[in-house]
Chains A and B, each alone.
Chain A
Amino acid sequence: MQWMTNILTGLKSLFHKQQVENELDEELESYVQASAAEKVKSGMSPENARHAALVELGSRNVVKHQVWSSRWESTLDSLLLDMKISLRTLAKSPGFTAIALLSIALGIGANTAIFTLIHQVILRDLPVRDPQQLVTFGTSTGGGILGGVDLGVNSMFPWSFAHQLQSNPGPFQGIASYSSFAPTVSVLPPSSASAHDSASSAVLVRAVLVSGNYFSVLGAQPLFGRTINPSDNTTPGSGAVVVLSEHFWRQSLSADPDILGKTITINRTPFTVIGVMPRQFHGIKLQIDPAALWTPIMMQSVILQQPSFLGPDAPYFLEMFARLSPAASTSRAALEQSQLWLNQQIHAGVRATESGTISAARQQEINRLNLPLISAQRGVSSMRGQYGSSLIILMAVVILVLLIACANLANFLLARAATRQREIATRLALGSSRRRIIRQSLMEALSLSMVGGLIGLGIAFAATRALIAFVSQGSTNTTLSSTPDATVLLFTLAASLFTGLLFGLAPAIVSARTGAAGSLSSNARTAQSSQGRASRLWPKMLVTAQIILSLLLLVGAGLFLRSLRNLQQQDYGFNRTHLLLADFDPKIAGYKSTQMAALDQQLIDRLSALPGVRSVALANTLPIQLGTEQSSFKISGYTPAPKEDMSSTIDRVSSRYFQTVGVPILSGRSILPSDTASSFKVVVVSESLAKHFFPKGDAVGHILTIDDDNIKGPWQIVGVAKDTRSGNPRDKTSFPTTYLPLAQIDPWTTAANAFADPAPASAANSTPTPREENQDAFASSILVRTSGDPAQSATELRAAVRSIDPSLPVHHIITIHDQISSLMTHDELIATLTGLFSVLALLLTTIGLFGVMSYNVVRRTNEIGIRFALGARRTTVLWMILRESLLLLAFGIGVGIPLALGAARLVRQQLYGLGAIDPATCVTAIAVVIVMTLFAAWLPAQRATKVDPMIALRCD
């Protein structure tokens, strides 16, 4: 309590300084009187007594000062005074202040913006209870539907295994599972469920299937309502309940407060809303495009629009995570126990799926299977993999920019400190302490950096918004947010403080070193310029540092820009102009596989008739996208070598596909309209497949079968198409691809192979259907080659599809150019931003160099005047000044280039098509820095040659 009264009294006396002062005066006066009275008592005359008392007291002001400084508020008071002085000095030179604030604001703003993203993508914990206890089984960064592999491959699992571990979590507090991807579903809000124009009010959002204990293991509480619990998740097809994300509830349901218990329609099936999650909750898997709904895994058929995956031998589509026991989250040994237990479960699970006796080799292979427990404290994030390293590189870049800005400010302040030497010397002579001078000088720097940081926060907010818009590609709902939170604000504060200290310290020390005697003498200027080298060392070092940092940034920007250009300009194997792509989803609209042939034909006919359209095709994937369908195959008459990779990407395409996408046919023919369900089955294979299996170039005519009963074949090879880049643009090797005609895929598939029978629970219902819809008969991509700008045809495409069936959803309409860009956003991000920042850095360095050189010329006016008077020629003086900057330049390049090369090695992973040591980039960077130096030094050097010796010498 005492400290509180102390603070209160302190503050009170701070605000009533005059009163405190008066009181002190009065106390002193009474002291003197009492002392005088005492002396009178012992026999002095009153005048003498008072005089003696005053002498004993000494300087009244000193006593008052001592009392004042014995209190804590005096420190605060003098700090406030220092700040007042600083602000006044800054206000006196508005030009300097504006430039300084701008460069700090830009530097801190850039740092804050990048840090905001780093914080959200890399550093932030999941908003759940004890997130440090969460682990995923494997990396869980993939996603999809997988079959014919061991448990845990790509961290994916079938329902049966997930369910078994869920009911027996061993050493874990709980084990839960969720669909490894978030499929797009069509949702009708409750109000329009019965309306006629239901199709148009449907929204497409992402849904995640979760196990009954997903939310409880995750430790997530709903905003209101309840989450899904195990009783919702017992019988396939039942438990049609849904938990909404806060964003979906707000955007699509107008934040209806009575939403609980209402029914929304998902993929034409009614679901009861049971809860809404808080705004920060996005599930365990964080994606740029987050999930809007969570439903029980039992609703898989409805959500995925696929046959049931819940029976035995079903494909793998789940990812799993667990909550460690409190012991395992702190002790290594307990964690290893959990790991061991999990691996045992995996081994047992794999053994159970093996048919017949297991060979010794296979047994060993099984025993070696290891599924690592990976911390999910911060969630599973695809963004982290995609943008993590880019963001860290960008953080390094913005720190460099901030350092360059600091160097500039330090230089400006040094120059000002030099011009204020007389003032400082006067203050020292009048008894001010050096500490006080350092403090005031630092205060000036800190005021600058704090105000700059505040402006920077605004810049950061705008910049983060722009960055998020770029990263999320225009999507309005992302897991990223540009609003700074406490951590970000703290970071900005720390960055501002650090910046202020960094650029304020050198000038503060230099000004405190000012000798009182020298600077007060009349010829201070000569003294300054002769005191020479030492005082000019600081600015020179700072400028050299700036040159080095600029070189680093320029080399980095060069490497990244060239990588991006290499990525953009490489041969993709198809024509990258005039192609418009779109996704459509006939299953959501309720189409059956038997209706697909007619729908496909209708789409092709209607779209081909559009003006400006040259060719139209359908396919199951886009010409280039992440994630493809793959399957192994056999070629009749070819015996694969042991362990030979016999897999290929499967593309199911309509006729005119190759013509539309612009993939050249190297031999044979393409897929034609005459390849129909009734004609014999044909296939076009890619160049790499043909070359590998038919090195003699006789691929055409051979027969292949695919190890997937839906599209088994046999298929006869009729043509070979050029290789294309169909996935990550950085993958240099082309994966073998087979192109099957959509029209020849049977709309039905035999029940034997399909994952038809759901869990035993529902096996009791009627006779099993002998055949299933073949999922592979559905196309999902529309490809349109246009004669003009493809983006212009987007609305027509949408209208044309609507005219066929208004309920057929078309989404993600994108030009091929944008589609390729979307696969290299992090390359674009890093190249653009590094380029931008290096220009900024160059600009700052130019200003810095110019400032230092100009100031040096001014300082040396006397000396130059004397040189001229003694007969120096203009060129000699010009060279003298230029030489100084060229020396700095040479030193900067000498240190900068090795540093840049070292730094480039660190970012090797991010480069494409060039090594870390790229001569062209280095030479360009050096050239740019040389031009910059000459440009910045030329004007001051010119000014030096114009010094009039008469004026220069008369000056002092």
Chain B
Amino acid sequence: MPAKPDALSQNDSNSSELVQGTLEMLILKTLALEPMHGYGVALRIEQISHGVFRVNPGSLLPALSRMERAGSVKSEWHATENNRRAKYYQLTAKGHKSLARETEQWQRQTAAIARILEAQL
């Protein structure tokens, strides 16, 4: 399921809508660096995008649950740095593969779109 338009909070004028269907790809990318818990993912996406994308838990957690079912991530309970328990998500081999595939696809599409937009008609 593609991420819904309400996937980001619109209280910030700086933020913009997440492109349909990209939430899972972003999560995959974030998790590719290291395993992290839900809030960590949200935070990382927000930071790296300089606050353009803000993902709320109402779409992040269902997406993680879907991906876990699809076998692209797996989860484990770990202690956090503040000694609390949190559910850490980690990319599986399948997740790595689908990240590579989706990234490649995405780059092809954006490059094509860019070419169209920059074309001198």
A and B physically associate: yes
Instruction: Tell me which residues from 18 to 56 in chain A have a Cβ below 8 Å from any Cβ of chain B.
Output: 23-24, 26-28, 30-31, 33-35, 37-38, 56
Q: Which residues of A contact B96 (CB under 8 A)?
A: none
Of B63, B69, B84, chain A has the most CB atoms within 10 Å of the CB of B69
Of the A-B pairs whose beta carbons lie under 8 Å apart in the complex, a sample of 20, sorted by A's number, is A6-B71, A28-B61, A30-B86, A31-B37, A31-B38, A31-B39, A31-B57, A31-B61, A34-B39, A35-B39, A35-B43, A38-B43, A56-B9, A56-B57, A58-B58, A67-B65, A69-B62, A70-B62, A70-B63, A70-B66
Q: How many residues of B contact A (CB 8 A)?
A: 27
Q: CA separation between A24 and B62, bound complex, in Å?
A: 11
Instruction: Tell me which residues from 55 to 80 in chain A have a Cβ below 8 Å from any Cβ of chain B.
Output: 56-58, 62-63, 66-67, 69-72
Q: CA separation between A67 and B63, bound complex, in Å?
A: 8
Chain B CB within 8 A of A2 CB: yes
Chain B CB within 8 A of A252 CB: no
Instruction: Tell me which residues from 1 to 55 in chain B have a Cβ below 8 Å from any Cβ of chain A.
Output: 1, 9, 37-40, 42-43
Contact of B82 among A10, A28, A37 (CB under 8 A): A37
Knowing that A58-B58, A72-B69 are A-B contacts, what are 20 other residue pairs whose CB atoms are under 8 Å apart, sorted by A's residue number?
A: A2-B71, A6-B70, A9-B69, A10-B69, A27-B86, A30-B38, A30-B84, A30-B86, A31-B39, A31-B86, A33-B82, A34-B40, A34-B80, A57-B57, A58-B56, A63-B57, A66-B58, A66-B61, A67-B65, A69-B62
Minimum distance in angstroms from A16 CB to a CB of chain B: 15
Q: Is the CB of A34 within 8 A of B86?
A: yes
Q: Is the CB of B61 within 8 A of A67?
A: yes
Q: CA separation between A26 and B61, bound complex, in Å?
A: 13
Of A5, A10, A63, chain B has the most CB atoms within 10 Å of the CB of A63
Chain A CB within 8 A of B85 CB: yes
Scoring A residues 867 to 898 as 1 if CB is less than 8 Å from chain B, else 0, what string do you get? 00000000000000000000000000000000
Interface of A, helix, strand, loop or mixed by DSSP: helix
Q: Is the CB of A30 within 8 A of B87?
A: yes
Q: Is the CB of A30 within 8 A of B39?
A: yes
Q: CA separation between A26 and B78, bound complex, in Å?
A: 12
Q: Which residues of A contact B87 (CB under 8 A)?
A: 23, 26-27, 30
Q: Which residues of A contact B103 (CB under 8 A)?
A: none
Minimum distance in angstroms from B29 CB to a CB of chain A: 20
Q: Which residue of B lies closest to A1 (CB)?
A: B71
Q: Which residue of A lies closest to B69 (CB)?
A: A6
Query: Nearest 9 A-B pairs (CB), nearest first?
Result: A34-B39, A70-B62, A30-B86, A66-B62, A2-B71, A31-B39, A27-B87, A67-B62, A67-B65
Q: Is the CB of B38 within 8 A of A2?
A: no
Contact of B70 among A2, A27, A38, A63 (CB under 8 A): A2
Q: Which residues of B contact A63 (CB under 8 A)?
A: 57-58, 61
Q: CA separation between A27 and B38, bound complex, in Å?
A: 8
Q: Which residue of A lies closest to B68 (CB)?
A: A9
Q: Which residue of B lies closest to A36 (CB)?
A: B39
Q: Which residues of B contact A31 (CB under 8 A)?
A: 37-39, 57, 61, 86
Q: Is the CB of A38 within 8 A of B58?
A: no
Q: CA separation between A10 and B37, bound complex, in Å?
A: 22
Interface residues on A, range: 20 to 34
Q: CA separation between A605 and B63, bound complex, in Å?
A: 99
Q: Is the CB of A62 within 8 A of B86?
A: no
Q: CA separation between A2 and B98, bound complex, in Å?
A: 14
Q: CA separation between A5 and B56, bound complex, in Å?
A: 28
Contact of B71 among A5, A27, A38 (CB under 8 A): A5
Of B9, B62, B82, chain A has the most CB atoms within 10 Å of the CB of B62
Q: Which residues of A contact B70 (CB under 8 A)?
A: 2, 6
Given that A5-B71, A56-B9, A70-B1 are known contacts, is A26 also in contact with B85, CB under 8 Å in the complex? yes
Q: CA separation between A70 and B3, bound complex, in Å?
A: 12
Q: Which residues of B contact A70 (CB under 8 A)?
A: 1, 62-63, 65-66
The tally of CB-CB contacts under 8 A between chains A and B is 77
Contact of B58 among A2, A6, A33, A62 (CB under 8 A): A62
Q: CA separation between A26 and B80, bound complex, in Å?
A: 13
Q: Which residues of B contact A71 (CB under 8 A)?
A: 65-66, 69
Q: Which residues of B contact A56 (CB under 8 A)?
A: 9, 56-57
Q: Which residues of A contact B1 (CB under 8 A)?
A: 70
Q: Which residue of A lies closest to B66 (CB)?
A: A70
Of B1, B39, B82, chain A has the most CB atoms within 10 Å of the CB of B39
Q: CA separation between A23 and B85, bound complex, in Å?
A: 11
Minimum distance in angstroms from B8 CB to a CB of chain A: 12
Of A27, A28, A63, A71, chain B has the most CB atoms within 10 Å of the CB of A27
Instruction: Tell me which residues from 711 to 742 in chain A have a Cβ below 8 Å from any Cβ of chain B.
Output: none
Q: Is the CB of B80 within 8 A of A30?
A: yes
Q: Which residues of A contact B85 (CB under 8 A)?
A: 26, 30
Q: Which residue of B lies closest to A9 (CB)?
A: B69
Instruction: Tell me which residues from 65 to 94 in chain B have a Cβ below 8 Å from any Cβ of chain A.
Output: 65-66, 69-71, 80, 82, 84-87, 94
Q: CA separation between A58 and B54, bound complex, in Å?
A: 14
Q: CA separation between A33 and B79, bound complex, in Å?
A: 13
Q: Which residue of A lies closest to B59 (CB)?
A: A66
Q: CA separation between A456 and B29, bound complex, in Å?
A: 58
Q: CA separation between A33 and B37, bound complex, in Å?
A: 12
Q: Which residues of B contact A23 (CB under 8 A)?
A: 87
Minimum distance in angstroms from B57 CB to a CB of chain A: 5
Q: CA separation between A34 and B37, bound complex, in Å?
A: 9
Q: Which residue of B lies closest to A64 (CB)?
A: B61
Q: Which residue of B lies closest to A66 (CB)?
A: B62
Q: Which residues of A contact B61 (CB under 8 A)?
A: 24, 27-28, 31, 63, 66-67
Q: CA separation between A5 and B68, bound complex, in Å?
A: 11
Q: Is the CB of B84 within 8 A of A33?
A: yes
Q: Which residues of B contact A30 (CB under 8 A)?
A: 37-39, 80, 84-87
Q: CA separation between A701 and B33, bound complex, in Å?
A: 120
Q: Is the CB of A38 within 8 A of B39?
A: yes
Q: CA separation between A198 and B85, bound complex, in Å?
A: 91
Q: CA separation between A57 and B54, bound complex, in Å?
A: 12
Q: CA separation between A9 and B71, bound complex, in Å?
A: 11
Q: CA separation between A30 and B69, bound complex, in Å?
A: 21
Q: CA separation between A6 and B86, bound complex, in Å?
A: 23
Q: Which residue of B lies closest to A58 (CB)?
A: B58
Q: Which residues of A contact B63 (CB under 8 A)?
A: 70
Minimum distance in angstroms from B63 CB to a CB of chain A: 8
Minimum distance in angstroms from A642 CB to a CB of chain B: 86
Q: Which residues of A contact B40 (CB under 8 A)?
A: 34
Minimum distance in angstroms from B92 CB to a CB of chain A: 10
Q: Which residues of B contact A38 (CB under 8 A)?
A: 39, 43
Q: CA separation between A71 and B9, bound complex, in Å?
A: 24
Minimum distance in angstroms from B4 CB to a CB of chain A: 10
Q: Which residues of B contact A62 (CB under 8 A)?
A: 58
